C-alpha cells in the first residue's frame, strides 16, 4: 500500500533573520514557498522527442493549470527506445524529487528491477500510460491509462483486410523495441485479426503469411524505420506493410522518400497501414502516401493520468480501476484533416 507522506517545502528564507526595516520585504518574499507547496508529477515517455509523448506531457500540463499546486516534469530518452536510459532518467527524477510517476514502459522486467522497485519502496506511486507493465509486475503500478493495445492491433489488422487484394496477402509487421509490452500486444492483435490466433507467425491461415524477414524491429529509431520501409517499397511485389507504431512516418524525410512510389499506393500494389495520427503523419496521409492510419489519444492519456495521480498524492485516493482504456480513431486520405485533433 502506498502511504502518502505530508509534504513540506523549505527555503533559505526560513533561516534569514531580517532587520526591522526589511522585515515586510522578506515576509512577502518567503510567502510563496509556504502558501503554494508543489506536488511534482514526473512523466517519462519511451522517447522524449516524439510528438506523441509531447502531447501526453501537454495533457499533464493542461490538468496542472486547474491545480496550482501541481507541476509536471517531462523527460525520456532523446532519440530512440533505450531501456537503460529510461531507467536512469526515472532514477534521476526520483533523486531530484517527484511525488508520483507517469511512465510508458519500454521493458517491464528491466524497469522493475532497475527503477520501479525503488519507487515502490519509497512509497512513490506509479501510473503507466500508453504501454503497461506485464501482468506479473502490476503490483508496481496503481493503474494503466491508454489504448487497449490488443484491440488496437486487431483494428490495424482489419484495415489490412479492407485494403489488401486476395492475390497479395503477405504482410510485414514493423515494431520498435522487441520487449515493448504494448507493441507486442499489437502484433498479437494484428495476427489475431487475420488468422484467428495470436501466438504464432502467420503461415497461411486464411491465406495470410508474413514475409520471412519480418517482424522488423527499429528500436524506435526514425532513420532505421524509414530505411526498412524503403527497402520493402522498392521490391517488385512488396508485402503489405503494417507499422504497430508510427516511427517511419515520424521521420521528416518520409514524404520526400515515398513520393516517387505514390503510384504504387494509388494502385494498391503497395499498402501501408500505420499506427498513430500525429500531424506529420496526417500530412503524408493527405498526400496519398499512407493507405490508412489508426490513431490514439496521447493528450488524454497525459491529462487523465495526471488527474488520477493527483488524487493519490494529495488526497490518498487510489484509482478505482486497474485499466482506463481510451478510444482510438481511423483516418484515411479523405478525412485526414478532420479525423482527430493534435495538440
36 — pLDDT class (breaks 50, 70, 90): low
Binned at pLDDT 50, 70 and 90, residue 79 comes out as: confident
User: What percentage of the chain exceeds 90 in pLDDT?
Assistant: 88
224-233 pLDDT, tens digit each: 999 999 999 9
**Mean local confidence (pLDDT), 37-54:** 94
Residue pair 280/327 in contact by the 8 Å Cβ criterion: no
Q: Find, among 160, 222, 221, the residue nearest to 194 by Cα.
A: 160
The string of pLDDT tens digits covering residues 80-98 is 999 999 999 999 999 999 9
Q: Is the pLDDT of residue 115 over 90?
A: yes
Residue 163 has pLDDT above 60, yes or no: yes
The arithmetic mean of pLDDT across residues 325-334, rounded, is: 97
Cβ neighbours for 339, distance < 8 A, ≥ 6 positions apart = 277, 282, 295, 329, 330, 331, 332
Whether the per-residue pLDDT at 17 is higher than 50: the answer is no
% of the chain beyond a pLDDT of 70: 89
The yes-or-no verdict on residue 195 having pLDDT over 80 is yes
In terms of average pLDDT, the best of 29-33, 163-167, 325-329 is 325-329
The x, y and z cell numbers of residue 295, run together, are 490513431
Q: What is the mean pLDDT of residues 192-199?
A: 96
pLDDT score, position 188? 98
Instruction: Return the pLDDT at 4.
Output: 42
Say yes or no to pLDDT of 19 above 90: no
How many residues does this entry show for the chain? 343
- Flag whether pLDDT at 8 surpasses 50: no
At 31, the pLDDT band (50, 70, 90 cuts) reads very low
Instruction: Judge whether residue 42 has pLDDT over 80.
Output: yes
* pLDDT at 318 > cutoff 50: yes
Q: Which residue has the higher pLDDT, 76 or 19?
A: 76
In the block, residue with C-alpha cell 533523486: 95
Residue 26: pLDDT above 80? no
Under 8 Å between Cβ of 258 and 228 = no
Arithmetic mean of pLDDT over the chain: 91
In 41-116, which residue ranges form alpha helices assigned H by DSSP?
A: 51-65, 83-96, 108-111
Cα-based distances in Å from 54 to 231, 275, 293 = 30, 17, 19
- 141 closest CA partner among 115, 162, 163: 115
- H-helix or E-strand spanning residue 194: helix 181-195
Cis peptide preceding 142, ω within 30 of 0: no
Kindly state the cell numbers that stand for 330.
481511423
pLDDT given at position 11 = 33
Please tell me the predicted confidence (pLDDT) of residue 32.
45
Residue 123 per-residue DSSP state: T
- For the cut 50, the answer to whether the pLDDT of residue 158 exceeds it is yes
Q: For the residues 38-54, what does the mean pLDDT come to?
A: 96
Helices (H), strands (E): how many in the chain? Answer: 13, 13
* Distance from C-alpha of 72 to C-alpha of 100, rounded to nearest angstrom: 10
> What is the structure's pLDDT at 9?
33
Q: Quickly state the pLDDT bin for 14 (edges 50, 70, 90).
A: very low
**pLDDT of res. 226:** 97
For the stretch 263-298, pLDDT in tens is 999 999 999 999 999 999 999 999 999 999 999 999
What CA–CA distance (Å, rounded) separates 12 from 192?
60
42-63 in b/e form (b: 16+ CB < 10 A) is: bbbbbbbebbbbbbbbbbbbbb
Grid cell of 60 as nine digits:
499533464
Amino acid at each position: 500500500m502506498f502511504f502518502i507522506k505530508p509534504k513540506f517545502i523549505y527555503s533559505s528564507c526560513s533561516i534569514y533573520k531580517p532587520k526591522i526595516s526589511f522585515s515586510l520585504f522578506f515576509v512577502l518574499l518567503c510567502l510563496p514557498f509556504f502558501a503554494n507547496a508543489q506536488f511534482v508529477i514526473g512523466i517519462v515517455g519511451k522517447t522524449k522527442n516524439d510528438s506523441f509523448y509531447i502531447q501526453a506531457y501537454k495533457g499533464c500540463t493542461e490538468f496542472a493549470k486547474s491545480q496550482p499546486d501541481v507541476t509536471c516534469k517531462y523527460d525520456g530518452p532523446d532519440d530512440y527506445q533505450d531501456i537503460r536510459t529510461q531507467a536512469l532518467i526515472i532514477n534521476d527524477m526520483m533523486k531530484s524529487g517527484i511525488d508520483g510517476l507517469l511512465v510508458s514502459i519500454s521493458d517491464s522486467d528491466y524497469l522493475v528491477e532497475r527503477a520501479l522497485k525503488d519507487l515502490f519502496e519509497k512509497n512513490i506511486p506509479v501510473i503507466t500510460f500508453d504501454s503497461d507493465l506485464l501482468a506479473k509486475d502490476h503490483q508496481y503500478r496503481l493503474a494503466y491509462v491508454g489504448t487497449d493495445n490488443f484491440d488496437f492491433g486487431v483494428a490495424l489488422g482489419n484495415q489490412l483486410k479492407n485494403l489488401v487484394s486476395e492475390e497479395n496477402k503477405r504482410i510485414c509487421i514493423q515494431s520498435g523495441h522487441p520487449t515493448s509490452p504494448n507493441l507486442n500486444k499489437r502484433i498479437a492483435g494484428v495476427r489475431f485479426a487475420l488468422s484467428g490466433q495470436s501466438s504464432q507467425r502467420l503461415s497461411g491461415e486464411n491465406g495470410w503469411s508474413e514475409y520471412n524477414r519480418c517482424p522488423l524491429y527499429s528500436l524506435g529509431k526514425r532513420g532505421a524505420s524509414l530505411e526498412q520501409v524503403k527497402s520493402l517499397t522498392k521490391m517488385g511485389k512488396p508485402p503489405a506493410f503494417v507499422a504497430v507504431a508510427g516511427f517511419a512516418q515520424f521521420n521528416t524525410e518520409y514524404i520526400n522518400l515515398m513520393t516517387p512510389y505514390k503510384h504504387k499506393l494509388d494502385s494498391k500494389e503497395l499498402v501501408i497501414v500505420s499506427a498513430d495520427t500525429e500531424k506529420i503523419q496526417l500530412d503524408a496521409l493527405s498526400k496519398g502516401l499512407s493507405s490508412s492510419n489508426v490513431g490514439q489519444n496521447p493528450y488524454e492519456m497525459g491529462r487523465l493520468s495526471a488527474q488520477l495521480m493527483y488524487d493519490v498524492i494529495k488526497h490518498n485516493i487510489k484509482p478505482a480501476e486497474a485499466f482506463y482504456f481510451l478510444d482510438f480513431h481511423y483516418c484515411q486520405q479523405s478525412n485526414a484533416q478532420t479525423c482527430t485533433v493534435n495538440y
